[in-house]
Amino acid sequence: MITRITRILLALQLGLAFGLSAAFAKTFHMDSLMLAALSGFGLVVLLRMLITANNFLIAWIYRSSTPVGHRIKWHQTCRMFFEEFGATMLSSSWTMPFHAFKNHVSAFPAGLPVLLIHGYGCNSGYWHSMSKALVHAHITHHAVNMEPVFAGIDEFVPAVHRAIELLCQQTGKDKIIIVAHSMGGLAARAYLRAHGSARIARVITLGTPHQGTGLANFGKGLNCEQMRWTGNAVEGMSSAWLRDLAASESGAVRRLFTSIYSHQDNIIAPQTSSHLEDARNIEFHGIGHVALALNPAIQKCVIEEVMKASSAHPVFRSLSAGEMRHG
CATH number at residue 184: 3.40.50.1820
At 81 the pLDDT is 98
Confidence grade of residue 316 (pLDDT, cut at 50, 70, 90): low
pLDDT per residue over 276-306, tens digit each? 999 999 999 999 999 999 999 999 999 999 9
Assess contact for 138 and 112: CB atoms under 8 A. Answer: no
In which domain, by residue range, is 179 found? 103-316
pLDDT per residue over 248-258, tens digit each? 999 999 999 99
Q: Is residue 109 part of a domain?
A: yes
The fraction of the chain above a pLDDT of 90, given in percent, is 91
Q: What is the mean pLDDT of the chain?
A: 94
Q: Is residue 25 part of a domain?
A: no
pLDDT per residue over 214-249, tens digit each? 999 999 999 999 999 999 999 999 999 999 999 999
Give the C-alpha separation, 207 to 263, whole Å.
Answer: 10
Assess contact for 263 and 255: CB atoms under 8 A. Answer: no
At 322 the pLDDT is 38
Q: Is residue 51 part of a domain?
A: no
The count of domains in the chain is: 1
Q: Is residue 270 part of a domain?
A: yes
In the chain, DSSP finds a helix count (H) and a strand count (E) of 12, 9
The secondary structure of residue 63, as a DSSP letter, is: P
pLDDT per residue over 167-181, tens digit each? 999 999 999 999 999
